[in-house]
Amino acid sequence: MLSIGKNAVRELIGSDTQINRLYVLKGAHDLDKLVEGARAKGARIEFCDKKLLDKLAGELRHQGVIAETADFAYSSLGDLLGIARAKGEKVFIVLLDGVEDPHNLGSILRVAECAGAHGVVIPSRRSASVNETVIRISAGAANHVAVAKVGNINDAIRKLKDEFVNVYCADMDGESIYDVRFDGDTAIVIGSEGFGVKELTSRLCDKSVAIPQRGKVNSLNASVACGIICYEAVRQRYGK
């Protein structure tokens, strides 16, 4: 797994993830702090030319630095619940029902980490997985927020409800998010870019919630919708 670019590498160094190797552009002295940080974590440092970095990064902008780690380590749904309990906090989890765009997944991981969510749940099929693009778009947040990959989102919802977690799905026909309480044990389901939350998944949830809209376009990007709902939860949980 590669973390590409300054921000992604910086966040990786600040996480608990082991760095196996750091590729650094020769003569790039503005990267000295990243080199020191990676070396302190036991990484092997390789100074190389731009051609190799371009090859490793593909279409992504590497900014002269790329870190190599083991494959991304997914958590379990139980792990996410354990994170909340260990912190003595009400559960706050985001579930993704078929988000296939890695840019959206990366943005959602960034939102979830910034909002203090205890983790994000993705299905093992018909969904983007955590890869180099996701890590880059998340600005390194993927190294700080737990991601659980499950066989079936509906089974995950059932388990959360068994644990007395309130599960809400985003739907334009739902109740306004400003009339719903998110300050208890809460899970928010965000649907796919083109089709939203599946009908069966929606029926399993405790309630559908909607973001009030005043414009002519009747839908929001999945990551934008996730951000708005998550920060309404933050407002209710922590106040101003």
Q: How confident is the model over 52-64, as pLDDT tens digits?
A: 999 988 888 899 9
Of the pLDDT bands very low, low, confident and very high (cuts 50, 70, 90), residue 73 is confident
CB atoms within 10 A of CB 163: 14
Nearest to 44 by CA among 20, 70, 69: 20
Could you say which architecture CATH assigns to the domain 77-238?
A: 3-Layer(aba) Sandwich (3.40)
Q: Where in the chain is the domain with CATH 3.30.1330.30?
A: 2-68
| pLDDT digits 0-9 by tens, 188-201 | 999 987 788 899 99
Q: What is the torsional sign of CA 174, 175, 178, 182? A: negative
Helices (H), 42-187: 50-57, 77-87, 102-114, 132-137, 153-162
What is the per-residue pLDDT across 198-216, written as a single tens digit (0 to 9) for each?
999 999 999 999 999 877 6
- Bridge partners of 210, per DSSP, are 176
Query: Which residue's structure tokens are 């973390």?
Result: 3
Residues in the chain: 240
pLDDT computed for residue 167 by the predictor: 97
Does residue 125 surpass a pLDDT of 80? yes
Task: Tell me the residue type at 203.
Answer: R
| pLDDT for res 220 | 78
Centre a 10 Å sphere on the Cβ of residue 6 and count the other Cβ atoms it contains: 18
pLDDT for res 193: 75
pLDDT for res 216:
66
Q: In the predicted model, what is the mean pLDDT of the chain?
A: 91
- All CATH 3.40.1280.10 domain ranges of the chain, comma separated, are 77-238
pLDDT digits (tens, 9 = 90+) for 1-37: 888 989 889 888 988 888 899 999 998 888 999 999 9
Res. 96: pLDDT tops 90: yes
d(CA 65, CA 84): 34
Q: Kindly report the pTM of this predicted structure.
A: 0.81
- The count of other CB atoms within 10 Å of the CB of residue 153 is 24
CATH topology of domain 2-68: 60s Ribosomal Protein L30; Chain: A; (3.30.1330)
Q: Please, what is the Cα angle at 55 between 52 and 60, to 5 degrees? A: 120
